[in-house]
A and B are shown apart, each in its own frame.
Chain A
Amino acid sequence: KQEVTQIPAALSVPEGENLVLNCSFTDSAIYNLQWFRQDPGKGLTSLLLIQSSQREQTSGRLNASLDKSSGRSTLYIAASQPGDSATYLCAVRLFTGNQFYFGTGTSLTVIP
Protein backbone atom coordinates (compact mmCIF):
# COMPACT_ATOMS: atom_id res chain seq x y z
CA LYS A 1 0.00 0.00 0.00
CA GLN A 2 1.26 3.46 -0.85
CA GLU A 3 2.08 5.62 2.16
CA VAL A 4 2.33 9.36 1.64
CA THR A 5 3.92 11.59 4.27
CA GLN A 6 4.07 15.37 4.44
CA ILE A 7 6.48 17.19 6.68
CA PRO A 8 6.12 19.54 8.42
CA ALA A 9 2.49 19.25 9.50
CA ALA A 10 2.39 23.00 10.09
CA LEU A 11 4.55 25.91 9.00
CA SER A 12 4.46 29.59 9.83
CA VAL A 13 6.54 32.08 7.84
CA PRO A 14 6.75 35.86 7.44
CA GLU A 15 5.41 37.40 4.26
CA GLY A 16 7.89 37.47 1.38
CA GLU A 17 9.80 34.40 2.42
CA ASN A 18 10.47 31.56 0.00
CA LEU A 19 9.45 28.17 1.35
CA VAL A 20 9.50 24.48 0.57
CA LEU A 21 6.87 21.89 1.41
CA ASN A 22 7.84 18.24 1.37
CA CYS A 23 6.02 15.10 0.29
CA SER A 24 7.44 11.58 0.44
CA PHE A 25 5.94 8.33 -0.80
CA THR A 26 6.88 4.69 -0.35
CA ASP A 27 6.10 3.17 -3.75
CA SER A 28 8.11 4.77 -6.53
CA ALA A 29 5.98 3.22 -9.31
CA ILE A 30 3.81 6.27 -9.50
CA TYR A 31 1.73 7.37 -12.47
CA ASN A 32 1.56 10.97 -11.37
CA LEU A 33 1.66 13.27 -8.36
CA GLN A 34 -0.70 16.16 -7.75
CA TRP A 35 -0.45 19.07 -5.33
CA PHE A 36 -3.65 20.58 -3.98
CA ARG A 37 -4.56 23.55 -1.89
CA GLN A 38 -7.38 23.36 0.66
CA ASP A 39 -8.83 26.42 2.35
CA PRO A 40 -10.69 25.98 5.65
CA GLY A 41 -14.13 24.46 5.08
CA LYS A 42 -13.58 24.27 1.35
CA GLY A 43 -12.81 21.66 -1.26
CA LEU A 44 -9.49 20.92 -2.92
CA THR A 45 -8.06 23.10 -5.63
CA SER A 46 -5.51 21.55 -7.95
CA LEU A 47 -2.23 23.47 -8.09
CA LEU A 48 0.18 21.37 -10.09
CA LEU A 49 0.26 17.89 -11.56
CA ILE A 50 3.50 16.11 -12.41
CA GLN A 51 3.50 13.06 -14.63
CA SER A 52 5.88 10.23 -13.79
CA SER A 53 8.05 11.12 -16.79
CA GLN A 54 8.46 14.74 -15.66
CA ARG A 55 10.88 16.25 -13.18
CA GLU A 56 9.05 19.46 -12.40
CA GLN A 57 6.12 21.72 -13.15
CA THR A 58 5.77 25.45 -12.67
CA SER A 59 2.80 27.75 -12.31
CA GLY A 60 3.42 31.35 -11.35
CA ARG A 61 5.16 31.45 -7.99
CA LEU A 62 4.78 27.70 -7.52
CA ASN A 63 7.25 25.05 -8.60
CA ALA A 64 6.82 21.35 -7.92
CA SER A 65 9.59 18.82 -8.39
CA LEU A 66 9.51 15.06 -8.49
CA ASP A 67 12.26 12.56 -7.71
CA LYS A 68 10.79 9.09 -8.09
CA SER A 69 13.98 7.28 -7.18
CA SER A 70 14.05 8.84 -3.74
CA GLY A 71 10.27 8.88 -3.36
CA ARG A 72 10.06 12.64 -2.90
CA SER A 73 8.32 15.70 -4.21
CA THR A 74 8.71 19.29 -3.13
CA LEU A 75 6.46 22.29 -3.60
CA TYR A 76 8.39 25.54 -3.71
CA ILE A 77 6.49 28.76 -3.08
CA ALA A 78 8.33 31.94 -3.95
CA ALA A 79 7.73 35.29 -2.27
CA SER A 80 4.97 34.01 0.00
CA GLN A 81 1.85 36.11 0.58
CA PRO A 82 -0.83 36.02 3.29
CA GLY A 83 -3.24 34.72 0.65
CA ASP A 84 -1.09 31.60 0.39
CA SER A 85 -2.22 30.57 3.87
CA ALA A 86 -3.98 27.23 3.48
CA THR A 87 -3.39 23.51 3.82
CA TYR A 88 -1.35 21.96 1.04
CA LEU A 89 -1.92 18.32 0.16
CA CYS A 90 0.02 16.03 -2.11
CA ALA A 91 -1.56 12.98 -3.70
CA VAL A 92 0.01 10.12 -5.59
CA ARG A 93 -1.56 7.83 -8.15
CA LEU A 94 0.04 4.50 -9.02
CA PHE A 95 0.13 2.86 -12.44
CA THR A 96 -2.15 0.16 -11.06
CA GLY A 97 -5.60 1.33 -10.09
CA ASN A 98 -7.45 4.63 -10.14
CA GLN A 99 -6.94 5.66 -6.55
CA PHE A 100 -5.09 8.74 -5.34
CA TYR A 101 -3.19 8.29 -2.06
CA PHE A 102 -3.14 11.48 -0.04
CA GLY A 103 -0.76 12.84 2.53
CA THR A 104 -2.15 14.47 5.66
CA GLY A 105 -1.13 17.91 4.51
CA THR A 106 0.97 20.86 5.60
CA SER A 107 -0.90 23.77 7.15
CA LEU A 108 0.79 26.98 6.01
CA THR A 109 0.37 30.36 7.67
CA VAL A 110 1.97 33.40 6.08
CA ILE A 111 2.23 36.27 8.55
CA PRO A 112 1.82 39.80 7.16
Chain B
Amino acid sequence: DAGITQSPRYKITETGRQVTLMCHQTWSHSYMFWYRQDLGHGLRLIYYSAAADITDKGEVPDGYVVSRSKTENFPLTLESATRSQTSVYFCASRLAGATEQFFGPGTRLTVL
Protein backbone atom coordinates (compact mmCIF):
# COMPACT_ATOMS: atom_id res chain seq x y z
CA ASP B 1 0.00 0.00 0.00
CA ALA B 2 1.90 3.05 -1.29
CA GLY B 3 -0.38 5.59 0.38
CA ILE B 4 0.55 9.14 -0.56
CA THR B 5 3.74 9.94 -2.43
CA GLN B 6 5.39 13.13 -3.57
CA SER B 7 7.94 13.76 -6.27
CA PRO B 8 10.55 15.00 -6.50
CA ARG B 9 11.69 14.84 -2.88
CA TYR B 10 14.27 17.54 -3.46
CA LYS B 11 14.38 20.26 -6.11
CA ILE B 12 16.67 23.18 -6.79
CA THR B 13 15.58 25.72 -9.37
CA GLU B 14 16.23 29.29 -10.39
CA THR B 15 14.11 32.40 -10.05
CA GLY B 16 11.61 32.73 -12.88
CA ARG B 17 11.47 29.06 -13.83
CA GLN B 18 8.31 27.01 -13.81
CA VAL B 19 8.29 24.09 -11.38
CA THR B 20 5.71 21.35 -10.86
CA LEU B 21 5.51 19.28 -7.70
CA MET B 22 3.62 16.02 -7.94
CA CYS B 23 1.36 14.33 -5.42
CA HIS B 24 -0.16 10.88 -5.87
CA GLN B 25 -2.40 8.91 -3.51
CA THR B 26 -3.62 5.35 -3.81
CA TRP B 27 -6.53 5.51 -1.36
CA SER B 28 -9.08 7.20 -3.65
CA HIS B 29 -9.45 9.97 -1.10
CA SER B 30 -11.66 12.72 -2.47
CA TYR B 31 -9.93 15.57 -0.63
CA MET B 32 -6.34 16.57 -1.34
CA PHE B 33 -4.33 19.47 0.06
CA TRP B 34 -1.09 21.34 -0.51
CA TYR B 35 0.71 22.95 2.43
CA ARG B 36 3.99 24.76 2.73
CA GLN B 37 6.11 24.65 5.89
CA ASP B 38 8.36 27.55 6.79
CA LEU B 39 10.25 28.34 9.98
CA GLY B 40 8.15 30.45 12.28
CA HIS B 41 4.93 29.88 10.35
CA GLY B 42 4.09 26.23 10.75
CA LEU B 43 2.21 24.65 7.89
CA ARG B 44 0.00 26.89 5.79
CA LEU B 45 -2.59 25.76 3.26
CA ILE B 46 -1.92 26.75 -0.36
CA TYR B 47 -4.75 25.02 -2.24
CA TYR B 48 -7.08 22.14 -1.73
CA SER B 49 -9.37 20.02 -3.87
CA ALA B 50 -12.65 18.36 -2.87
CA ALA B 51 -12.82 16.13 -5.95
CA ALA B 52 -11.56 15.89 -9.50
CA ASP B 53 -11.93 19.25 -11.28
CA ILE B 54 -12.86 21.04 -8.00
CA THR B 55 -10.18 23.19 -6.40
CA ASP B 56 -10.16 26.11 -3.99
CA LYS B 57 -7.68 28.56 -2.55
CA GLY B 58 -6.21 28.28 0.89
CA GLU B 59 -4.36 30.80 3.00
CA VAL B 60 -1.36 31.48 0.71
CA PRO B 61 -2.32 30.74 -2.93
CA ASP B 62 -0.49 33.57 -4.74
CA GLY B 63 2.07 32.35 -7.27
CA TYR B 64 0.74 28.79 -7.34
CA VAL B 65 -1.54 26.90 -9.71
CA VAL B 66 -3.18 23.53 -9.15
CA SER B 67 -5.19 21.11 -11.24
CA ARG B 68 -6.92 17.83 -10.56
CA SER B 69 -7.93 15.91 -13.63
CA LYS B 70 -7.72 12.55 -11.84
CA THR B 71 -8.73 11.75 -8.28
CA GLU B 72 -5.35 10.27 -7.42
CA ASN B 73 -3.16 13.14 -8.62
CA PHE B 74 -2.89 16.73 -7.43
CA PRO B 75 0.04 18.60 -9.00
CA LEU B 76 1.18 21.99 -7.71
CA THR B 77 2.81 24.37 -10.20
CA LEU B 78 4.89 27.41 -9.44
CA GLU B 79 4.46 29.40 -12.63
CA SER B 80 7.46 31.69 -12.09
CA ALA B 81 9.40 30.64 -9.02
CA THR B 82 10.57 33.27 -6.54
CA ARG B 83 13.02 32.98 -3.66
CA SER B 84 10.17 33.44 -1.19
CA GLN B 85 8.77 30.12 -2.43
CA THR B 86 11.76 28.26 -1.02
CA SER B 87 10.06 25.94 1.43
CA VAL B 88 9.08 22.39 2.23
CA TYR B 89 5.85 21.41 0.50
CA PHE B 90 3.53 18.76 1.90
CA CYS B 91 0.64 17.08 0.19
CA ALA B 92 -2.18 15.57 2.25
CA SER B 93 -5.41 13.72 1.63
CA ARG B 94 -8.51 12.52 3.42
CA LEU B 95 -11.79 10.79 2.72
CA ALA B 96 -14.91 12.90 2.29
CA GLY B 97 -16.71 13.00 5.62
CA ALA B 98 -13.65 11.76 7.47
CA THR B 99 -11.70 13.86 9.93
CA GLU B 100 -8.15 12.59 9.75
CA GLN B 101 -5.64 13.88 7.20
CA PHE B 102 -2.72 11.83 5.94
CA PHE B 103 0.47 13.49 4.81
CA GLY B 104 3.07 12.73 2.19
CA PRO B 105 6.83 12.82 2.92
CA GLY B 106 7.29 16.35 1.57
CA THR B 107 9.28 18.06 -1.18
CA ARG B 108 12.10 20.39 -0.25
CA LEU B 109 12.23 23.17 -2.85
CA THR B 110 15.06 25.68 -3.09
CA VAL B 111 14.75 28.67 -5.41
CA LEU B 112 18.08 30.36 -6.14
Contacts and interface: CB of A to CB of B under 8 A. Distances in A.
B101 interface: yes
Nearest to B94: A98
Interface of A: 4, 31-32, 34, 36, 41-46, 49, 51, 89, 91, 93, 98-100, 102-105
Contact of B99 (A41, A51, A102, A105): A51
B74 interface: no
Q: Looking at chain A's contact residues, is the secondary structure mostly helix, strand, loop, or mixed?
A: strand
A34 B101 contact: yes
B104 A43 contact: yes
Contacts of B43: 89, 91, 100, 102
B50 A98 contact: yes
B99 A100 contact: no
A47 B80 CA distance: 37
Interface residues of B, number: 24
Contacts of A103: 42
Given A32-B99, A44-B92, A93-B99, 10 more contacts: A4-B42, A34-B99, A34-B100, A36-B103, A43-B103, A49-B99, A89-B42, A98-B48, A102-B44, A104-B40
Nearest to A33: B99
Contacts of A4: 42
B104 A100 contact: no
A55 to B, nearest CB: 16
A41 B90 CA distance: 11
Contacts of B44: 102
